[in-house]
Structure 1
Amino acid sequence: MAQEPTWRAREGLPVGSEAGRYLRILQLADIAPLHPWTLQSLAPSELPLALPENAEHLWHAQMDFTLEPPVGLELEWIQTKVGLISNSAYPFGENDGAIWAGRGLTAALEGGGFLRYGPLHLRLAPEVSWSQNRNFDLADNGYSGSAIYLDELHPESIDRPQRFGEEDYVQIGLGSSALHLAFPGMSVGISGAGQHWGPTLNYPLLLGNNAGGFLHLFGQTDSPVDLWAVRLNARYILGWPTQSDFSPVEVEKGRRFVTGAVFSLTPRGVDGLELGMARFIHAMPPEAGFQFSDAFRVFTGVTDPEPGLLLVESQNRLAENQLASLFFRWAFPRAGVEVYGEIVKDDFARDLRHIVEEPDDLMGQVFGFQKVWTRSDGRLAVLRAETVNTLVHHSERFRRFRLGKSPLRLFWNGGLQQGHTHAGQLLSSPTAYGGSGWTLGGDLYHPQGRWTLDLFRALQTEFSTIHFETDGPEMSDVIYGIKLEAVQFRNGVEWRAAFTPSLNLNRNLVGENDVFNLAIGLSIQGLPW
């Protein structure tokens, strides 16, 4: 009996999947063609441009890359995925979708099927997760009662709970579900799946898969638009993120919508180079009702000019949360190397003069690289490194605070008090919430799976972000850790095990409060019987 593949190209490519990670490595190994990886998820009609032409590759027995057009109605199941995560001391997890892995045991289940009919592609894969949510020491945010669970730094200005109450925490969501309708050169549809904008692997700055997906309408190119000087890939969204039960905003006042757009340009004659830009805006529905023009707010100005004011005096729209990023990725498949970087900036500004004087205010950056070696036995060895820094800018420290004694930092917002979040989790990397960090890792891809070793550091908080002037303990809340992960394919089933011991120094900014956590993750995709 033929072995069932763990992934088939015709089912679609969800963000964060093992197949997506593998395809990017194949590109650097000069096995898969050059195609932008800075706009994810890829449309089903776009996938042929990213798949290797040669059927012989390391995991050819594990993944089915054939992608013929459907003949009539095609309806199939996707591989069910079951996962378990255990944290011994405190919540730990990042870029793991909608799951919130609290202290204790967390379980997740995703399953469903897909349908193809002509230009229509429907992937229906809802997800449910449960967290034991055991008690752990919270940081003091100055509140009492149920408000003690709110964010420790900006409890009134971001929907980022330290803990989701005292009971078990259950989530039911759309998972990687999406409906695509393909037209010549583009696709449109509706989706609840996660997205990843930009070139990063570990620390997405504008939009990543840390909180999973939210319901959104989209339109995107499914093949590069040739503008002679550059080739253009683009994606636009109109979406509706939700808030948690511990949001600082009342439910009836918490309804918001987002508009976003991301563009990737490949210059003519410079193979492998991607230059990109993106913008993302949270806004409240206007009192007069949602207008057609509101759906395209992302394509209009940063500030809101007022009659009688000079352009440099025009004011930011206070009832919005605006973010923007610039990024690049340069891949050299013959050398097996890629380098990339991204900067993100809160569009908020007192006025245009502030933008000119301090362009690096409320800004963060990421830089990284990957190197792939193809061994004589066909195995692929990978070395990668990535660093992020969004530490509070000098103008926000000490005497120049803009919100009482609390400095401004990326991703929170005083107007839209949910901040840059969905369902209580950041849409970007948690490490990028006014902190810094790095990851140094290596992978070995072999015919039966993958071995991975990661070393990482994440600075959560440093004293000047909460203490007035230079008073307070001169220390940092920082995590050091090691991640050991193994992926094994056996009889059409993908098994995964991860062990992540970490040490949180000065946890909650309490001196010598050093806490050890062991995170254990186990998952299975496919049915072993």
Structure 2
Amino acid sequence: MLSIRPFLYFASLSTGMGAAMLGGGSLEAQSVRPGDPTTSYVRALSLTGADFGTTFTVLPGTDLSGPAREEQIPETRAHPWWERPYPAYGTAPSSGALALSVDEARVRTVLNSAVPRGWNDGAMWAGRGVTSSFDARASARWRGLAVVANPTVVFNQNRSYELATVLPPNQPPWAYPWRVVDWPQRFGPDSFWTLDPGDSRVSLDWKSGRVSVGNESLWWGPGVRNAIVMSNNAPGFLHAALSTNEPVDIGIGRLEGKWIWGGLGESDYFDPSAPSDRFITGIVLAYSPDWLAGLTVGGTRVFQTHVPDAGLPASEYLLVAQGFLKVGQVSDQQPDGSDRRDQILSLFARWAFPESGAEVYVEWARTDHALDLEDFLQEPEHSQGYTLGLQKVTSKSTQRMFLLSAELTHLEASTTFQLRPRPTYYTNSAVTQGYTHKGQILGAWVGPGGNSQFVGLEMFAAWGSVEMFVQRQVHDNDAFWVWAEANNQTFDAHHVSFDLGVDAMVFRGEVELGGGAVITRQINRWFYGPHLWNFNLSLAARWRPGA
């Protein structure tokens, strides 16, 4: 959960030693992947009129392949990276021959001076002190079959700092202090190493479809900073998937989608008596109608449950088709319609306006079933969360492009909690680990009961890019209201962080060098704690072939 966007972007030392081909073939262009700098650039470029065949709502997504990608960009529009090829992740054999390649390796280093701080960095958890990671990517492809290996090694110095007292019973002292959820304050008392599969996968493509098994990080929905249901904030988890590998023409528009089944793990710093094996299944669909250019609407739904000793019944694999109302789940075993599963769903929309160089997007989510239709119509806001965002591209020449971004995410409980149970995001009374994997939140990085506001300005130029941003985060306001009432506190003890950051990336031939710095002011840490400053520094590099 801990690293800043620049750290993701520029943190790659890509040993793309080129495609070692056994037979003829042509390089395949990069898939649109969460956390990659090319994804940010291509999304900005799409606002100038280029059609890359992706909605940026189902990631990893469409391959950016084909010579038409350059021709789609009007000559009068900015395209400052036009001389820099897109990363070639593997090869797409044209003659049926086997193609082997070493695609990428990368190195990242992050320093936090006082406390852990950051977001959306997959397998890397950057605590206090120095955290470094290295990963390498290699692939083998034959016709529609692809095998991609992307092992990742992470070192965490994990220096000590003052922890909050853990209130829930049977939890270790490193656990989250306010509620039962596998989201540790600190991953133990010592430095440690982690080996993770990274974005590894085995996949088989046929026409516009794909069957895969892998560990790839996923990003669902239109958000840029926060994805409420599925993001790369946590490490990727092992899953099987049925998906599109490009938008499918269904006659009335184009459709993208993915349906997954997988398993989740817990950290070593959670209640050891709790069942640890969890099953997750989810679906995302994104539809772009022909008659409304630039519009994409869609939805996501995810269930997780503990795996019983006897194994999962077949019906669990079809949970995404379950009804949306609790009244439909009533049974002799569950007279109130509740069950042992945890679910979250969202609806989203993204509308791009290339003639204006802008886009707006929204994701609206619920983390609890409505009791019945009448309940939903009366209180649709119960258990809701939402993200609102916009991006605007401007340019003074074809060699320089500016991207203004703003995003707001709100996961704090609505006022309905005054008269009914408070369903805090990413926590669940039956699946006590919450919506987590290996101790990190699978959804929005702001976490349970969190809110954030972000404004950033990024410039793309032929030499690379630079961004400045400001951000405000409110930490777990759901817990604050309970704590404040119990401790006779007033309104002025919210745990809030203010970030001011800058990041940059510079091209040097096949190498991309990057770094960032973020100054954070935290007030009322853990509500009762002191104000503090944190300095976050990141350095990184990427070397990729053919750049």
TM-score, length-scaled by structure 1: 0.90
Pair 307,387 (structure 1): closer, same or farther in 2 beyond 3 Å: closer
* CA deviation after TM superposition for structure 1 residue 183, in Å: 0.8
Structure 1 residue 40 corresponds to structure 2 residue 59: yes
Amino acid in the other structure paired with 1:476:
H
Counterpart selection for 1:297 from 304, 315, 319: 319
Amino acid in the other structure paired with 1:332:
F
What residue in structure 2 maps to residue 218 of structure 1? 241
Tell which deviates more after alignment, 222-231 or 102-111: 222-231
Tell which deviates more after alignment, 24-33 or 102-111: 24-33
Tell which deviates more after alignment, 365-374 or 428-437: 428-437
Counterpart selection for 1:464 from 464, 477, 481: 481
Counterpart selection for 2:132 from 107, 122, 129: 107
* CA deviation after TM superposition for structure 1 residue 221, in Å: 1.4
Contact 2:59 2:219 in 1 (8 A): yes
Distance 1:441 1:199 in 2: 17
Structure 1 residue 14 corresponds to structure 2 residue 33: yes
The alignment covers a number of residue pairs equal to 512
Contact 1:242 1:422 in 2 (8 A): yes
Contact 2:466 2:503 in 1 (8 A): yes
Tell which deviates more after alignment, 266-275 or 9-18: 9-18
Contact 2:172 2:270 in 1 (8 A): no
Q: For residues 395-410 of structure 1, what are the structure 2 equivalents within 5 Å?
A: 395-397=416-418, 400=419, 402=421, 407-410=422-425
Contact 1:493 1:527 in 2 (8 A): yes
Pair 519,424 (structure 1): closer, same or farther in 2 beyond 3 Å: same
* CA deviation after TM superposition for structure 1 residue 518, in Å: 0.2
Distance 2:455 2:251 in 1: 38
Counterpart selection for 1:365 from 369, 383, 386: 386
Distance 2:215 2:104 in 1: 19
How big is each residue's C-alpha offset from its partner over 1:48-89, in whole Å with a ceiling of 9 and x where there is no partner?
Answer: 599444699422333347886444111111221000000000
Distance 2:407 2:263 in 1: 31
Counterpart selection for 2:302 from 269, 275, 280: 280
* Cα RMSD (Å): 2.8
Pair 503,231 (structure 1): closer, same or farther in 2 beyond 3 Å: same
* CA deviation after TM superposition for structure 1 residue 364, in Å: 0.6
Amino acid in the other structure paired with 2:251:
W
* CA deviation after TM superposition for structure 1 residue 497, in Å: 0.5
Counterpart selection for 1:81 from 86, 90, 106: 106
Pair 318,275 (structure 1): closer, same or farther in 2 beyond 3 Å: same
Counterpart selection for 2:230 from 200, 207, 226: 207
How big is each residue's C-alpha offset from its partner over 1:167-186, in whole Å with a ceiling of 9 and x where there is no partner?
Answer: 11322111111222101221
Contact 1:199 1:328 in 2 (8 A): yes
Pair 245,65 (structure 1): closer, same or farther in 2 beyond 3 Å: closer
Distance 1:189 1:28 in 2: 31
Counterpart selection for 1:423 from 433, 438, 450: 438
Distance 2:68 2:222 in 1: 15
Amino acid in the other structure paired with 1:425:
Q
What residue in structure 2 maps to residue 413 of structure 1? 428
Contact 1:32 1:50 in 2 (8 A): no
What residue in structure 1 maps to residue 85 of structure 2? 63
Structure 1 residue 233 corresponds to structure 2 residue 272: no
Contact 1:362 1:392 in 2 (8 A): yes
Counterpart selection for 1:258 from 280, 294, 308: 280
Distance 2:231 2:41 in 1: 18
* CA deviation after TM superposition for structure 1 residue 6, in Å: 10
User: Aligned to 1:246, what secondary structure does the other structure show?
Assistant: coil
What residue in structure 1 maps to residue 343 of structure 2? 322
What residue in structure 1 maps to residue 4 of structure 2? none
Counterpart selection for 1:434 from 449, 454, 472: 449
Pair 225,162 (structure 1): closer, same or farther in 2 beyond 3 Å: same
How big is each residue's C-alpha offset from its partner over 1:455-509, in whole Å with a ceiling of 9 and x where there is no partner?
Answer: 1000114431423379324221100011100011102011110000110011111
TM-score, length-scaled by structure 2: 0.87
* CA deviation after TM superposition for structure 1 residue 318, in Å: 2.4
What residue in structure 2 maps to residue 137 of structure 1? 162
Counterpart selection for 2:271 from 242, 248, 264: 248
What residue in structure 1 maps to residue 504 of structure 2? 486
Contact 1:127 1:175 in 2 (8 A): yes
Amino acid in the other structure paired with 2:155:
W
What residue in structure 1 maps to residue 208 of structure 2? 185
User: Aligned to 1:20, what secondary structure does the other structure show?
Assistant: helix
Distance 1:469 1:522 in 2: 43
Contact 1:383 1:441 in 2 (8 A): yes
Distance 2:412 2:398 in 1: 44
Tell which deviates more after alignment, 59-68 or 298-307: 59-68
Distance 2:168 2:411 in 1: 27
How big is each residue's C-alpha offset from its partner over 1:318-374, in whole Å with a ceiling of 9 and x where there is no partner?
Answer: 211100000000011121101000011113456665444322111111100000113
Distance 2:52 2:168 in 1: 54
What residue in structure 2 maps to residue 499 of structure 1? 517
Distance 1:307 1:420 in 2: 26
Pair 115,401 (structure 1): closer, same or farther in 2 beyond 3 Å: same
* CA deviation after TM superposition for structure 1 residue 111, in Å: 0.4
What residue in structure 2 maps to residue 151 of structure 1? 176
How big is each residue's C-alpha offset from its partner over 1:367-410, in whole Å with a ceiling of 9 and x where there is no partner?
Answer: 0000011322421111110011111222325xx574xxxx5411
How big is each residue's C-alpha offset from its partner over 1:256-277, in whole Å with a ceiling of 9 and x where there is no partner?
Answer: 1111000111122111100011
